[in-house]
Amino acid sequence: MNIVLLGAPGSGKGTQASLITEKYGLPHISTGDMFRENIREKTPLGVLAQSYIDKGQLVPDDVTVKMVAERLSRDDCKKGFLLDGFPRTLSQAQALEKIVKVTCVLDIDVPLEKLLGRLTGRRCCEKCGESFHVSVIGNTEICPKCGGRLYTRADDNEATVQSRLDVYVSQTASLIDYYKEKGVLRRVNGDAPVNEVFAEAEKAMGI
């Protein structure tokens, strides 16, 4: 299972990625999480990535591809992996093809007009990394799953979200057709409760 999760920011990639990787014992490779870890640790990569992430822009392809290539070369990826948030450009998809064979690409489809509200109302847990929506959990600062502290991602403010959505439309959405032509694309309706999306995803991927 060499899986890629496509989908716009706020489509629920992270949530579905966690469910799939927990159930099937795959490494969950989220480029956004890798950048945020580097930002927390104040590495040179983190400093560079932050300047793009804060503006809602993509980190340059060469830097991102190098980081992913290193991660995929580790032993835990030999039996499969799930990429969450990579590739996001055609050039990243072409680079990935030279590293490994992707067996399944799952696109989580959510109408664009719903994404802004999903992202600006998102709260993430510092401890377990899970995310929730204020319309479901209310104004609590405590994670309903693990009791950790909830926070709002710096790039989930309205202005940055708008540029992230613009970047998705202009640079990432075309990957749907790219993978459709390769015959590996599966699509699920992401505008549904988490467990329903998960059930549909398992069915679509034939796992």
Residues that bind ligand AMP (CB under 6 A): 9, 31-32, 35, 52-53, 56-59, 64, 85-86, 88, 92, 155, 164
Contact 168, 9 (CB under 8 A): yes
DSSP-derived secondary structure for the chain? -EEEEEE-TTSSHHHHHHHHHHHHT--EEEHHHHHHHHHHTT-HHHHHHHHHHTTTPPPPHHHHHHHHHHHHTSGGGTT-EEEES---SHHHHHHHHHH----EEEEEE--HHHHHHHHHTEEEETTT--EEEHHHHTT--B-TTT--BEE--GGGSHHHHHHHHHHIIIIITTHHHHHHHTT-EEEEE-SS-HHHHHHHHHHHHT-
Minimum distance, C-beta of residue 47 to ligand AMP, in the bound complex (Å): 14
Residue 59 or residue 104: which is nearer to ligand AMP going by CB? 59
Return the number of the residue (163 or 203) whose C-beta is nearest ligand AMP.
163
Nearer to ligand AMP, 99 or 199 (CB): 99
| Minimum distance from residue 206 beta carbon to ligand AMP (Å) | 25
d(CA 36, CA 18): 17
- Helices 61-72 and 44-53: crossing angle, nearest 10°? 130
CB of 173 to ligand AMP, least distance (A): 14
Q: Which residue numbers are catalytic?
A: 13, 88, 122, 153, 164
CB of 186 to ligand AMP, least distance (A): 20
| Residue 83 or 185 with smaller CB distance to ligand AMP | 83
* Nearest residue to ligand AMP, scored by beta-carbon proximity: 32
Nearer to ligand AMP, 66 or 203 (CB): 66
**Least Å from the CB of residue 90 to ligand AMP:** 12
Q: Could you give the CA distance from residue 165 to residue 132 in angstroms, rounded to a whole number?
A: 19
